[in-house]
Chains A and B, each alone.
Chain A
Amino acid sequence: MIDQPKPLLGSSRDLVDRAFGWLAFGAAALVLLILGMIAMTMTSRASSVFSKMGLDFFTTKRWAPPENIFGGLSFIWGTLYTSLIAIVLAVPISLAVALFITQVAPRRLKMPLVYVLDLLAVVPSVVFGLWGVLAFASPIQGVYTKIHHLVRGIPVLQSIFGDTPQGRCFMTAGIILAIMITPIITSLAREVIETTPQNEKEAAYALGATRWEMIRGSIIPHSKGGIVGTVMLGLGRAMGETIAAALVIGASIGQLSLDVFSPGNSMPAVIANEWGEADDLHKSGLIAMAVVLFMITILVNVIASTIVRRSMARSRGKRT
């Protein structure tokens, strides 16, 4: 295998080695390439609409494609409002479930419970939407009507839970989104909660605290930062979730309403619903909507993951 005074020079094997390195580099750079291309091509396709509407795109609620008027405000509002509803519903439940799984449930139940939750996470979003529109919207309308009757007469509440509730409205979209993002928030919250050092928990118990007092005193202060980041990640998910929302949100145009029971629209929903019959200019308007959605969700996700990462690093640092 070796002849002694053979020089120790490189061979063709080293060329293959280099080539592999470059191939791997290219694959990694692909991420940057794709993101860059998304930003560039979408913006350029939408540029005609942006230049025509200017800032009005964000401030007008009037959306009339046949007249070349594209005001995105109502959709931006819809996205924010449904995401808000989703967060308001999902966060307390997710935290309760996360605390339940980590602190209350008997050890044996823990794995099956986590399994069940992960199952929920795997169900495709379109199935949620299907169920929402065909099996949920009609029955829940009755519930909405009852709620409306309950708050009739109370000033602010009666406009939020308005009259003539529809099955397909902000509220339904918010509920469906909440169901969809709960598993994610729960599993991330679980991770954050489990970084609480064991001896901080034991210290609370040793002082005679009840379980709830231990949670309040040790776990919550420790996990606060991470939970905030987790909630924001859930928010990002809710905002980008297209299909389930599109099916149940009601597809109204150009309305800005606080009434959760009124049909509304959101950025992803209007794109999905109107694309099929849109002409070129209309399509550009929808693409412009997508660009705005892109920016907002990226912003939320970046802030969220930075917060989560920082707080996990901090809590691990405390441990060692």
Chain B
Amino acid sequence: MAIETTPVTSNEPVREIDSRLRSAVPRRTDESRRLDAAPVVFALSHVEVFYGAFRAVRDVNLEIHEHQITAFIGPSGCGKTTVLRSLNRMHDVIPGARVGGTVNYHGQNLYGPKVSATEVRRRIGMVFQKPNPFPKSIYDNVAFGPRVNGIKDNKKLDEIVEKSLRGAALWDEVKDRLRNSALGMSGGQQQRLCIARTIAVEPEVVLMDEPCSALDPIATARIEELMRELKHRFTIVIVTHNMQQAARTSDRTAFFTAELDSTSDQRTGLLVEYDATAKVFSNPSDTRTENYITGRFG
């Protein structure tokens, strides 16, 4: 979890942003105002996550808005994935993990006493870093979620499978071999299958944990295109190591970093800056953000 830090020696604020980043982010100041107007889906307040006694991330405050793509960026080990997983209670399956603070979903506390984790996950889906299709057929993979929700009618399942595969831009490629094993597809196809599987249950939110890091550039481009389409139907939160990807695709960006905790001898993650993507990449408020974006560290 260590980060290589190159100290900034000059006193002048650094304004020189990578020109590639600049061109990837169109100026959209009117849109910034529009972004803030959209309804709030998640409201995180003083959220922190512990693995046993180790505090992995602390004091996270942010709001996720509907039908937008929010990106979490930052160096390794700063808590981005940890915060993402707290949004659909995936930490529940890890013994010793604990989430503190408040995670509100449409005003309800996600970790409230009577809240069922499985209900949460039906509304908030997740796509993982390494594609993980079940060792079943393509059809059964996509139909898994709906079947879990009690849909047994075969015709209805057929419809849902087709709709989801179309939504993931995979239908034309697999429509003749739905009964083949999902493991016979390429990495990019498998990941799109995982996306189809996730949207088959029609969640409200789709969380994505570095979905393209195991894929080649062409497959990555297709998934980014997909994300831009999907955001009209869902709310997307994506963790990514690839800054250009965040700049290209997201509406808002949250930058995390890890710092040495004064109380323990560990590096704890924290949220540094959270704003419209255009602003974060062209005119970041915090020096740490600038340093990361200009490649001085991370």
Contact = CB atoms under 8 A, between A and B. Distances in A.
User: Touch between A and B in complex, CB under 8 Å?
Assistant: yes
Interface of A: 1-2, 4-5, 7-11, 13-14
A9 B115 CA distance: 5
A141 to B, nearest CB: 59
A9 B114 CA distance: 6
A15 B114 CA distance: 14
Interface in B90-122: 105-106, 108, 110, 112, 114-116, 118-120, 122
Contact of A1 (B106, B110, B116, B202): B202
B149 A1 contact: yes
Contact of A14 (B105, B118, B122): B118
Nearest to B145: A1
Given A1-B122, A1-B149, A2-B122, A8 B201 contact: no
Nearest to B109: A8
Nearest to B112: A8
Contacts of A7: 108, 114
Contacts of A14: 116, 118
A9 B110 CA distance: 10
Contacts of B202: 1-2
Contact of B106 (A5, A9, A11): A5
Contacts of B204: 2, 4
Contacts of B116: 8-11, 14
Given A2-B204, A8-B116, A11-B119, 5 more contacts: A2-B123, A2-B202, A7-B114, A8-B112, A14-B118
A8 B115 contact: yes
A8 B115 CA distance: 5
Interface in B212-237: none
Nearest to B204: A2
B139 to A, nearest CB: 19
Q: Which A-B residue pairs are the 4 nearest by beta carbons?
A: A10-B116, A8-B115, A8-B119, A1-B202
Contacts of A11: 116, 119
Contacts of B114: 7-10
13 contacts: A1-B149, A2-B202, A7-B114, A8-B115, A8-B116, A8-B119, A9-B114, A9-B115, A9-B119, A10-B114, A10-B115, A11-B116, A14-B116
Interface string B236-273: 00000000000000000000000000000000000000
B149 A4 contact: no
B64 to A, nearest CB: 16
A2 B205 CA distance: 12
B119 A10 contact: yes
A202 to B, nearest CB: 35
Contact of B110 (A5, A8, A10): A8
A4 B226 CA distance: 25
Contact of B201 (A1, A4, A5): A1
Nearest to B120: A8
Nearest to A7: B108
Nearest to B119: A8
A53 to B, nearest CB: 52
A264 B284 CA distance: 92
A10 B113 CA distance: 10
A33 to B, nearest CB: 26
A199 B145 CA distance: 49
A8 B149 CA distance: 15
A13 B201 contact: no
